[in-house]
Amino acid sequence: MTVEPTSADIAGPITAFLRERTKVDVPADQDLFASGLVSSIFAMELIVHVEQTFDVAITGSDLRLDNFRTVDRMTELVTRLRAGA
């Protein structure tokens, strides 16, 4: 039986990736695009990181800016995608 990751298990690696790349501690509810921390090019890197780290495919209607606006929203996306797997 596989244990699904908790929200903290998902948010932690996303936050660590953002901290490593931006050199800033990012609150889970901070708008990454409005704050200027994430550009469109970096957003693509973020999508790839989330897909590879959590073994999910982000396609179609899930490939929206709003799903990557905050760590909280990315955590919700991963949780939903893993539940549907």
| pLDDT digits (tens), the chain, 85 positions | 567 789 999 999 999 999 999 999 999 999 999 999 998 899 999 999 999 999 999 999 999 999 999 999 999 999 999 988 6
Please give the pLDDT value at position 1. 56
Q: How far is CA 73 from CA 9, 46, 77, in A?
A: 14, 13, 6
Please give the pLDDT value at position 57. 96
Residue matched to tokens 């797997």: 85
Which distant-in-sequence residues (6+ apart) come within 8 Å of 6 by Cβ? none
Task: Identify the CA nearest to 29 among candidates 77, 84, 72, 60.
Answer: 72
Please give the pLDDT value at position 40. 85
Angle at which helix 7-22 crosses helix 71-84, to 10 degrees, equals 130
Please give the pLDDT value at position 5. 86
